[in-house]
Amino acid sequence: MMDEQEALAIISGELDQALDGVRAPARFAAEVRMRTGVSKRPEFLDMVGWTGVLAMACALQLYFGPREIGVDWFVPAGVALMAVALCVGVYSLRELAD
Amino acid sequence: MTVSDDRQFEELLRTYQDKVFRLCCAMLGDRGLAQEAAQESFVRIWKGLGKFRGESSVSTWIYAIARNTCLTALKSRPESRNLSMELPGVRASAERAAAGSQGPDRRPDVMQLVAELPENYRQVVLLYHMEEKSYDEVALMLGMPLGTVKTYLHRARKQMAESLMAAEAVKMAERGS
CA distance from start to end of chain A: 50
What is the ipTM metric for this complex? 0.75
Mutate which: B5, B7, B127, B130, vs A, most A CBs within 10 A: B130
Length of chain B: 177
Collect all residues of chain A within an 8 Å Cβ-Cβ radius of residue B39. Answer: 28, 31-32, 35
Task: Indicate yes or no: CB of A22 within 8 angstroms of CB of B130.
Answer: yes
CA B93 to chain centre: 16
Residue among A8, A32, A45 whose CB faces B157 most closely: A8
Length of chain A: 98
Nearest C-alpha neighbor of B20 from the set B50, B49, B61: B61
CA A89 – CA A50 distance, rounded (Å): 9
Residue among B6, B39, B158 whose CB faces A31 most closely: B39
Mean pLDDT value across chain B: 84
pLDDT in the model for residue A49: 78
Q: Is the pLDDT of residue B177 over 90?
A: no
pLDDT in the model for residue B38: 96
Q: Which residues of A touch B (CB under 8 A)?
A: 1-4, 7-8, 10-12, 14-20, 22-25, 28-29, 31-33, 35-36, 38-39, 41-42, 45, 96
pLDDT digit string, tens, across residues A32-89 = 988 887 766 666 777 777 777 877 877 777 777 766 656 666 677 777 777 877 787 7
The alpha-carbon gap from A78 to the nearest alpha carbon of chain B, in Å, equals: 29
pLDDT digit string, tens, across residues B34-49 = 999 999 999 999 999 8
Residue among A7, A10, A19 whose CB faces B130 most closely: A19
Collect all residues of chain A within an 8 Å Cβ-Cβ radius of residue B130. Answer: 19-20, 22
pLDDT in the model for residue A51: 75
pLDDT digit string, tens, across residues B128-165 = 999 888 999 999 999 999 999 999 999 999 999 999 99
CA B163 – CA B113 distance, rounded (Å): 7
More confident residue, A74 or A13: A13
pLDDT bin (cut points 50, 70, 90) of residue B104 is very low
Q: Is the pLDDT of residue B58 over 90?
A: yes
pLDDT in the model for residue B141: 95
pLDDT digit string, tens, across residues B59-97 = 999 999 999 999 999 888 755 555 665 555 555 555 655
| Residue B25 near residue B65, CB atoms below 8 Å | no
| Residue B57 near residue B75, CB atoms below 8 Å | no
Whether the CB of B1 is below 8 Å from some CB of chain A: the reply is: yes
Whether the CB of B111 is below 8 Å from some CB of chain A: the reply is: yes
Alpha helices in chain B (DSSP H): 3-28, 31-48, 58-75, 90-100, 110-115, 119-130, 135-142, 146-176
At residue A37's C-alpha, the angle toward residues A33 and A38, to 5°, is: 60
| Residue B83 near residue B27, CB atoms below 8 Å | no
Nearest C-alpha neighbor of B155 from the set B104, B129, B120: B120
The alpha-carbon gap from B10 to the nearest alpha carbon of chain A, in Å, equals: 8
CA B171 – CA B177 distance, rounded (Å): 10
Residue among A16, A22, A35 whose CB faces B88 most closely: A22
Provide the 10 A C-beta neighbour count for residue B86: 15
Question: What single-letter DSSP state applies at residue A97?
Answer: H
SS3 B177: coil
| Residue B18 near residue A23, CB atoms below 8 Å | yes
For residue B142, the one-letter residue type is L
pTM score over 0.80: no
For residue B153, the one-letter residue type is L
Burial of A87 (0-12, 13-18, 19+ CB in 10 A): exposed
CA B139 – CA B151 distance, rounded (Å): 12
* Helix (H) or strand (E) run with residue A62 in it: helix A41-64
